[in-house]
Chains A and B, each alone.
Chain A
């Protein structure tokens, strides 16, 4: 059973489109995250939710909107996609929001904006 799953694995789309990436965890964790890994391989936090409440909101364009319908799901919706949004997006979860909780990552979604 996959602990943290993401769909889709690959997403190719045109500039200006709106797309969503879904994430689900079956670990019973309270906290979920979205990370972006850009072309320089820099893995950077975007958002974090704890018990469906937003606790981390980094400097991310407001075209990116996370939604957590319940503790097990954290989706990422991106409006008006731009070329610079091309990256690998990773979802992760942890038992709680603070260290020393280990984060468990999904397999990633490779987004290509043409």
Chain B
């Protein structure tokens, strides 16, 4: 039972445009959400997070939006750069379990 889903395995975007990566979850107990970025042959690196008490968090070119009623979050990257090409994982947790549940990732390719 996959509690965190990233339904788009890949996405291609032109440099300078907006990249939108989506993530859906099923567990209403999740109260903290994160996005990680992963380059080949490296471990995931933390990008941005959001608590369930917020609906938006912004850090430079990266913004995460949370829609609790739809159990949906998205990561916006504006403007997209070729260096953003990587696999992006969303993850969710609830305080009671100590566990982070990861999605299967979306491979973003930013075309120059």
Chain A residues 49 to 97 lying within 8 A of chain B, measured CB to CB, are 50, 55-56, 90, 92, 97
Contact B42 A108 (CB under 8 A): yes
Nearest chain B residue, comparing its CB with the CB of A10: B41
Complex Cα distance, B99 from A50, in Å, reads: 12
- Closest chain-B Cβ to A68's Cβ sits at a distance in Å of 15
Contact A41 B104 (CB under 8 A): yes
- Closest chain-B Cβ to A40's Cβ sits at a distance in Å of 7
Contact B100 A103 (CB under 8 A): yes
Chain A neighbourhood of B46, CB < 8 A: 102-104
- Closest chain-A Cβ to B53's Cβ sits at a distance in Å of 11
Among B44, B93, B95, B104, the one with the most A-chain Cβ atoms within 10 Å of its Cβ is B44
State whether A44 and B102 are in contact (beta carbons under 8 Å apart), knowing that A99-B32, A102-B49 are contacts in the complex.
yes
Does A34 have its Cβ within 8 Å of any Cβ on chain B? no
State whether A100 and B43 are in contact (beta carbons under 8 Å apart), knowing that A45-B100, A56-B98 are contacts in the complex.
no
Nearest chain B residue, comparing its CB with the CB of A44: B102
State whether A97 and B98 are in contact (beta carbons under 8 Å apart), knowing that A102-B34, A108-B41 are contacts in the complex.
yes
State whether A99 and B93 are in contact (beta carbons under 8 Å apart), knowing that A42-B104, A56-B98 are contacts in the complex.
yes
Contact with A along B89-112 (1 / 0, CB 8 A): 100011100111110110000000
Does B31 have its Cβ within 8 Å of any Cβ on chain A? yes
Does B51 have its Cβ within 8 Å of any Cβ on chain A? yes
Contact B100 A99 (CB under 8 A): yes
B89's partner among A43, A48, A55 (CB-CB below 8 A) is A43
B43's partner among A44, A45, A56, A108 (CB-CB below 8 A) is A108
Q: Which residues of B contact A (CB under 8 A)?
A: 2, 31-32, 34, 36, 41-46, 49, 51, 87, 89, 93-95, 98-102, 104-105
Q: Which residues of A contact B (CB under 8 A)?
A: 4, 35, 40-45, 48, 50, 55-56, 90, 92, 97-100, 102-108
